[in-house]
Amino acid sequence: MTHSPSRDILERWATGERIAPLPVREGAAPPAISFEFFPPKTPALETQLWACIQRLATLRPNFVSVTYGAGGSTQERTHATVLRIVQETDLTPAAHLTCVGATREAVDEVARRYWDAGVKHIVALRGDAPNGESYAPHPGGYAFAADLVAGLKRIADFEITVAAYPETHPQAPSPEADLDNLKRKLDAGATRAITQVFFDNDVFLRFLDRALAAGIKAPIVPGIMPVTNFKQAANFCAACGTSMPKWMAELFDGLDDDAETRRMVAAATTAEQVRVLQANGIDEFHFYTLNRPDLVYAISRILGVKPQPQSE
């Protein structure tokens, strides 16, 4: 077996043809980006989060979102983090809010507090039952995300983002039913969907085709997660129905004790993922930052997003 370049590549070199793995979209406008953070549990993690927010803020994201812990367990911390973003930055915050384990009145009260504090964008979700139990709607609560979207719209004219699942939500009876559910959420007043994390771009692009064919016109923004810890990510993905490609397992194989190489592999694979999406016309990206700025910062730069001066 030889490892020399193929005849085809040699011929292209000979003619001086530039071999680029992807079309470089010179002159194209940089994409819109958004970042997701989780509320910190300890003062040390809060310091880490704020360093992360400050670094990523220079890239002028469209908005930054703060998650709501499983079962609403981080309600106060989510609220405090979102409020601090309002008070100390000029970023536009989006607060995640879930239906799980709460009455409609309690959820509405949280939403009203956000609106009164100037937080006008909600990422509206059903949420999951804590500890891996199966989900059952609270008797007096919003049963599904579509109900929550409608409830929020009754309170105020929130901008609302919802979740979408290129690989189908694990509890959906079928991909078609799941797409109908996405449509219901958008029909109820949401104007954007962010996807569950995925690693196979074809799956995402086929999902966009299906959504378009179903009459969905709202933007469906890819949720991008740079993976540095393959084992941890594999556990998370198994729970949320995201498949981990075999090539990815192979790339990380044997790197458990080599954090630096894992970071380089993560940077390369995520950069490749977003550039392929960009080459396919995707112009909006949402990054799951895990409260760590460096990889996401570099990948945003690779997409053409540059730091901008702070507005006065």
Asked if 291 interacts with ligand FAD (CB under 6 A), we say no
> Smallest gap, in angstroms, from Cβ of residue 71 to ligand FAD?
7
Task: Name which of 199 and 252 has its Cβ closer to ligand FAD.
Answer: 199
Interface residue with ligand FAD among 77, 169, 262, 292 (CB under 6 A) is 169
Interface residue with ligand FAD among 35, 37, 50, 67 (CB under 6 A) is 67
Interface residue with ligand FAD among 145, 190, 225, 265 (CB under 6 A) is 145
Interface residue with ligand FAD among 52, 56, 128, 201 (CB under 6 A) is 128
Asked if 98 interacts with ligand FAD (CB under 6 A), we say yes
Task: Name which of 30 and 69 has its Cβ closer to ligand FAD.
Answer: 69
Asked if 181 interacts with ligand FAD (CB under 6 A), we say yes
Burial 287-297 (b: 16+ CB within 10 A, else e): bbbbbbbebbb
Binding site for ligand FAD (CB under 6 A): 67-68, 70, 96, 98, 123, 125-128, 144-146, 163, 169, 171-172, 177-178, 181, 185, 194, 196, 223, 240
